[in-house]
Amino acid sequence: MKKDDKEKLVSLGCLLLGILAYPFTCKWYLGIACAVCSVILGFYYGKLESRSDRKVIAGLILSIVYLAITVLFVALIGLYWSKLGINPWKAK
């Protein structure tokens, strides 16, 4: 595989995984996996190529925003449960 083809595949994979993270919000573990893989591919592309590609930047932004929203959502649920006195790990 040529270097140009590899760069195109990595940049397209980064963008597609960043986009696919959002529909996979219903299955949160798939969304997180897509976002993390997109970030990894984005940084891998940065090692391959010194110039930046708009697809890679868009994929990284989408993935990082998705991960930030997910962390914020989990933190808010934890705060809500602590206010209600709910402990899901405590045996009944």
What pLDDT tens digit does each residue of the chain (92 aa) get?
A: 787 788 889 999 999 999 999 999 898 899 999 999 999 999 998 887 777 789 999 999 999 999 999 999 999 998 998 888 888 777 66
Rounded-to-5 percentages of helix, strand, coil across the chain: 80, 0, 20
Q: Where are the domains of the chain?
A: 3-84
Distance separating alpha carbons of residues 41 and 89, to the nearest angstrom: 35
